[in-house]
Amino acid sequence: MAETTQFNMQPLLPAEGSAATAELTDLAFDLTAKAAALAGAVPDAVAAGTLVRAMNCYYSNLIEGHNTHPRDIERVLASDFSNDPDQRDLQLEAAAHIAVQELVDAGTEDVPFGPTEQYVRWLHRAFCERLPESLLWVVDPDTGERYHVGPGELRTRHVVVGQHVPPDADAVSPLLGHFAETYDPDRLGRAKRVIAVAASHHRLVWVHPFLDGNGRVARMLSHAYLRHIGLGSALWSVSRGLARTRYREVLAGADRPRQGDLDGRGALSEAGLVAFCRYFLETCIDQVNYMSEILDPARLLARMERQVGIAVAEGMLPKRSFSLLREALMIGTFHRGQAPTITGYQERKARQILSELLDRGYLVSDGPRAPVRLGFPVEVLADWFPRLYPQDD
List every span in the chain annotated with CATH 1.10.10. 297-392
Task: Walk across the sheet containing 372-374 and list its strands.
Answer: 333-334, 372-374, 363-365
List every span in the chain annotated with CATH 1.10.3290.10. 2-294
Give me the torsion for CA of 58, 60, 66, 68, rounded to 10°.
-10
Pick from 233, 373, 376, 386: nearest CA to 299 = 386
DSSP code, position 133: G
Given CATH 1.10.3290.10, say whether it is the number of domain 2-294: yes
C-beta neighbour count of 53 within 10 angstroms:
24
| Residues 215 and 29: beta-carbon distance below 8 Å | no
pLDDT at 17: 85
pLDDT at 42: 75
- Written out in words, the top-level CATH class of the domain with range 297-392 is mainly alpha
| DSSP-assigned states of every residue in 321-339 | HHHHHHHHHHHSEE-GGGH
pLDDT < 70 positions in the chain: 1-7, 43-49, 391-393
pTM of the predicted model as reported, rounded to 2 decimal places: 0.92
Measured at the alpha carbon of residue 227, what is the angle toward residues 191 and 67, in degrees to the nearest 5? 115
Longest dimension (CA), the chain: 78
Pick from 322, 332, 334: nearest CA to 295 = 332
Taking the chain, what is the end-to-end CA distance rounded to the nearest angstrom?
51
Q: d(Cα 323, Cα 169) in Å, to the nearest integer?
A: 59
Pick from 221, 290, 288, 219: nearest CA to 57 = 219
| Residues 312 and 318: beta-carbon distance below 8 Å | yes
The β-bridge partners of 147 are 138
pLDDT at 393: 47
pLDDT at 359: 95
Q: d(Cα 16, Cα 179) in Å, to the nearest integer?
A: 18
Give the pLDDT confidence of 353-389 residue by residue, as tens digits. Answer: 999 999 999 999 989 889 999 998 889 999 999 999 8
Give the pLDDT confidence of 7-50 residue by residue, as tens digits. Answer: 689 999 999 888 899 999 999 999 999 999 998 877 665 655 67
pLDDT at 331: 85
CA distances from 299 to 42, 343, 386 (A): 12, 22, 11
Give the pLDDT confidence of 317-332 residue by residue, as tens digits. Answer: 999 999 999 999 888 8
201 exposure class (CB count in 10 Å sphere: 0-12, 13-18, 19+): buried
